[in-house]
Amino acid sequence: MTTVGLDITHTGWVTTFQDLGRLGSEQLGVPTGGAADQHAAVVANLLAGNPAHATLLESLGGELALVPDADVLLAVTGAPAEVTVTGMPADTWTPLVVPAGQEIRVRPDTGRGMRTYLAVNGTLAAKRLLGSAAPDARMGFKQTVSRGDRLLLETEFRGFSRRPFEPSLFRLPVPVPRFDEDIWTVDVVASHGIHDIPGVRELIEDSVYTVTPRSDHVGLRLDGPVLHPDGDAEIVSHGVPVGALQIPHADELIVLGRYRSLTAGYPIVGVASRACLPLLGQAGPGRRLRFRWTDRETSVHRSAQRAAEVRTLAHAAAGAFAALGFSAPLSRTNREDILN
Amino acid sequence: MTTAPYGAVTVEPFGDSAVMVTIPHPEQTIRRAAIVAFRDRFLAHRPPGVLDVVSGLESLLVEFDPLRTALPHVEYAARLVAEWAPAPTTGAGGAREARTFEIPVVFDDEAGPDLASVARELDRSPAGVVEAIADSTFTISLLGAAMAPMMDGLKVPRPVRRRAEPRTDVVPGSVMIAGTNAIIQPFPGPTGWRVVGRTPHTIVDITRPEPVSFAPGDVVRFLPVSRAEADGLDAGFLLPVEDRA
């Protein structure tokens, strides 16, 4: 195990330590939080030879850049991004070696997605709150990474017996999501609130919604047509799943994110499929969304397909690293890690 | 812990990986007490695949991994727990003993800007409201947002209303009431609760491995103190009476 320094030479608009979020914290009033695009975060870690839940960096927009003081193995995933190592173009969604003293830069195309993930083989030193490095702004747990910071990494990576500028080392079955479509389609499972608003099901299905700049990690606020319930039935504070579609008193639709809290008084007409949550985590202001109603079985089936793809990648990556004489801690990657 | 009388639970699917459990009963106080009791039992007999639960005032959101378990299993487990499971405090060992907290609070116009309006609402003097709060014995029913202790047990002639216009920035340590509940604000933030006082203690300390010392079921009493007394306390992190000796 060696300690490597990573000098942050530039950051995204916001760059933070991140992971898959807190387990068992919601019963303590703390939202699970964690990477907005969980799929990208898991895949970045697997491609870097880490367990799925390892601490990594999440950047919103901007241009993250860092210089390691020893060779490091890393991977960049998330929004489509321009990545360079020492000024030379490099690939996303694949393991990369960044040589000591050289700079890697990551600039997402924010027209197509908001967040990039950078995972480095090993363990990043970061503070934890309730077992997780994920930020929680409400509790003053910021986890922000700033220009000039020196991050510390414990890693067993000693370099491959290859030169860093040779073609990509790996041909792995990476499940790379597409961000090309002009209007993203989000599957939604209807929930009880839909019965209180006649016609809302058809209205939502037939409309296109636009993400507004008032969106954040608590929820995406969408411009588009909505209907309100007739009655004024009292809805007391209750928990809501991530991805819940809520209609507040104003004429907007809110899709709640991983930092949502209890909600009260507003009807919830549906919940986005688990398989679509990573896509929602990439949506930024101006993004147009269309909602498609789906049933629970189909929704779970899509989750299962996604999980199977990630499992396949985990096994292939473990095999590839082993063949190169590099034993990453992938054996610790279990189903629970990947699925959450 | 109360063992409120309740029969069947209602289990409603909520998206592809959660259910909402409620306990139908015409009386609000029973619905609320029963869901707290249910939550304790459910956590004590947590079925595999259940990831977390979120307490609402009258509901429990149960989040599960749909690839490790399935909706009918979670629903069945919830019904089993409701009908058969013993309350965890009556089980053999294991359960945490309820702790007691005596929390000093400054009740004045600066620390409690809603004290006067609550007094008018209840036809009492501000001192009378403080007396009612000090005479009440609260039980923590759940941890609200950011681990805020939400308590039940305020002895007032009628439930206290929430503010029509929420306050946008309430300071940490603020003691707030609404209905027959009280809550302490752990971090700066907005609230629709009525702010009646402030404790000098730190309620939640994120630098500690266990950021709070309280849990649902614990008992809380508020002790009115003057501003000078509060300043002289060197209060620090809130600890139960048992740990201060």
CA distance B32 to chain A (A): 11
Which pLDDT band holds residue A162 (cuts at 50, 70, 90)?
low
Which pLDDT band holds residue A233 (cuts at 50, 70, 90)?
low
How far apart CA A333 and CA B84 sit, in angstroms, is 37
Write the CB contacts of A178 (distance below 8 Å, at least 6 apart in sequence). Answer: none
pLDDT at residue B71 is higher than 50: yes
Write the CB contacts of A307 (distance below 8 Å, at least 6 apart in sequence). Answer: A335, A338, A339, B67
Identify whether the C-beta of residue A207 lies closer than 8 Å to the C-beta of residue A218: no
What local confidence, expressed as pLDDT, does residue B240 receive? 95
Q: Please state whether A194 falls in left (phi above 0), alpha (psi between -120 and 50) or beta.
A: alpha
Kindly state whether residues B78 and B120 are assigned to the same domain: no
- On whether residue B95 sits in a domain, the answer given is no
Partner A contacted by B35 (CB < 8 A): no
Mean pLDDT of chain A: 91
Tell me which range, A63-67, A138-142, A246-250, B56-60, is most confidently predicted by mean pLDDT. A63-67
Identify whether the C-beta of residue A237 lies closer than 8 Å to the C-beta of residue B57: yes
Kindly state whether residues B113 and B53 are assigned to the same domain: no
Give per-residue pLDDT as tens, A280-325: 999 999 999 999 999 999 999 999 999 999 999 999 998 888 777 6
Kindly state whether residues B230 and B152 are assigned to the same domain: yes
Sheet holding A2-10, edge to edge: A88-90, A81-85, A104-108, A64-68, A2-10, A150-155, A123-124
Of A27, A296, A335, the CB nearest to B52: A27
- On whether residue B90 sits in a domain, the answer given is no
Contact B16 A303 (CB under 8 A): yes
CA-only gyration radius of chain B, Å: 19
First to last CA, chain A: 28
Identify whether the C-beta of residue A4 lies closer than 8 Å to the C-beta of residue A68: yes
Asked which of B84, B112, B128 is the last residue of a domain, the reply is: B84
Partner B contacted by A274 (CB < 8 A): yes
CA distance A80 to chain B (A): 28
- On whether residue B136 sits in a domain, the answer given is yes
For chain A, what percent of residues have pLDDT higher than 90? Answer: 77
- On whether residue B20 sits in a domain, the answer given is yes
What local confidence, expressed as pLDDT, does residue A169 receive? 62
What local confidence, expressed as pLDDT, does residue A190 receive? 97
Q: Residue B35 sits in which domain range?
A: 4-84
Strands (E), A69-124: 72-78, 81-85, 88-90, 96-98, 104-108, 115-120, 123-124
What secondary structure letter does DSSP report for B93? Answer: S
Q: What is the CATH number of the domain that holds B197?
A: 2.40.100.10
What local confidence, expressed as pLDDT, does residue A306 receive? 95
Asked which of B51, B84, B117 is the last residue of a domain, the reply is: B84
Count the Cβ atoms, other than its own, within 10 Å of residue A162: 11
Minimal Cα distance from A238: which residue of B?
A: B56
CA distance A42 to chain B (A): 16
Count the Cβ atoms, other than its own, within 10 Å of residue B47: 16
Kindly state whether residues B49 and B131 are assigned to the same domain: no
Which pLDDT band holds residue B86 (cuts at 50, 70, 90)?
low
Of B12, B20, B145, the CB nearest to A29: B145
Partner B contacted by A18 (CB < 8 A): no
pLDDT at residue A120 is higher than 50: yes
Q: What residue spans of chain B are helical by DSSP H? A: 28-44, 71-84, 115-121, 126-135, 227-232, 241-244
The SS3 call for residue B201 is coil
Contact A238 B52 (CB under 8 A): no
CA distance A291 to chain B (A): 14
The stretch A189-204 carries a mean pLDDT of 94
What local confidence, expressed as pLDDT, does residue A331 receive? 38
Question: B189 - beta bridge partners?
Answer: B170
What local confidence, expressed as pLDDT, does residue B30 receive? 86
pLDDT at residue A337 is higher than 50: no
- On whether residue B229 sits in a domain, the answer given is yes
DSSP code per residue over A236-288: --B---TTEEE--SSS-EEEE-TT---B-SS-EEEEE-GGGHHHHTT--TT-E
Partner A contacted by B30 (CB < 8 A): no
Contact A29 B14 (CB under 8 A): no
Contact A339 B53 (CB under 8 A): no
Contact A29 B142 (CB under 8 A): yes
Kindly state whether residues B118 and B209 are assigned to the same domain: yes
What local confidence, expressed as pLDDT, does residue A335 receive? 35
- Chain B contact probe: residue of A23, A27, A234 with most B CBs at under 10 A: A27
What local confidence, expressed as pLDDT, does residue B77 receive? 94
pLDDT at residue B94 is higher than 50: no
What local confidence, expressed as pLDDT, does residue B4 receive? 44
The stretch A30-50 carries a mean pLDDT of 96
Which pLDDT band holds residue B92 (cuts at 50, 70, 90)?
very low
**Using a CB-CB distance cutoff of 8 angstroms, which residues of chain A are in contact with residue B57?**
236-238
Closest of A312, A240, A319, A174 to residue A32, by C-alpha? A240
What local confidence, expressed as pLDDT, does residue A171 receive? 81
pLDDT at residue A109 is higher than 70: yes
- On whether residue B92 sits in a domain, the answer given is no
pLDDT at residue B142 is higher than 60: yes
What local confidence, expressed as pLDDT, does residue A340 receive? 37
The stretch A240-255 carries a mean pLDDT of 93
Kindly state whether residues B106 and B165 are assigned to the same domain: yes
Which pLDDT band holds residue B3 (cuts at 50, 70, 90)?
very low
pLDDT at residue B189 is higher than 90: no
Identify whether the C-beta of residue A191 lies closer than 8 Å to the C-beta of residue A266: no
Which pLDDT band holds residue A222 (cuts at 50, 70, 90)?
very high
pLDDT at residue B224 is higher than 90: yes
Kindly state whether residues B50 and B123 are assigned to the same domain: no
Of A58 and A232, which is predicted with more confidence? A58
The stretch A18-31 carries a mean pLDDT of 94
Identify whether the C-beta of residue B223 lies closer than 8 Å to the C-beta of residue B102: yes
Q: What is the CATH number of the domain that holds B22?
A: 3.30.1360.40
Partner A contacted by B44 (CB < 8 A): no
Contact A29 B189 (CB under 8 A): no
Q: Which helix (H) or strand (E) holds A299?
A: helix A296-323
Buried/exposed A7-23: b ≥16 CB within 10 Å, e otherwise: bbbbbbebbbbbbbbbb
Kindly state whether residues B80 and B106 are assigned to the same domain: no
Kindly state whether residues B59 and B116 are assigned to the same domain: no
Identify whether the C-beta of residue A271 lies closer than 8 Å to the C-beta of residue A256: no
Tell me which range, A151-155, B94-98, B166-170, B216-220, is most confidently predicted by mean pLDDT. A151-155
Kindly state whether residues B192 and B131 are assigned to the same domain: yes
Interface of B with A in 130-169 (CB under 8 A): 142-148
Minimal Cα distance from B15: which residue of A?
A: A271
- On whether residue B93 sits in a domain, the answer given is no
What local confidence, expressed as pLDDT, does residue A72 receive? 94
What local confidence, expressed as pLDDT, does residue B90 receive? 45
Total domains in the fold of chain B: 2
Angle of CA points A226, A228, A230, to nearest 5°: 155
Contact B66 A300 (CB under 8 A): yes
What local confidence, expressed as pLDDT, does residue B166 receive? 82
Contact A29 B58 (CB under 8 A): no
- On whether residue B24 sits in a domain, the answer given is yes
Kindly state whether residues B132 and B180 are assigned to the same domain: yes
Which pLDDT band holds residue A330 (cuts at 50, 70, 90)?
very low
pLDDT at residue B165 is higher than 50: yes
What local confidence, expressed as pLDDT, does residue B88 receive? 61
pLDDT at residue B16 is higher than 80: yes
The stretch B106-132 carries a mean pLDDT of 96
Mean pLDDT of chain B: 89
Contact A339 B65 (CB under 8 A): yes
How far apart CA A214 and CA A250 sit, in angstroms, is 13
Which pLDDT band holds residue A339 (cuts at 50, 70, 90)?
very low
**Using a CB-CB distance cutoff of 8 angstroms, which residues of chain A are in contact with residue B59?**
236, 238-239
How far apart CA A226 and CA A255 sit, in angstroms, is 13
Kindly state whether residues B151 and B105 are assigned to the same domain: yes
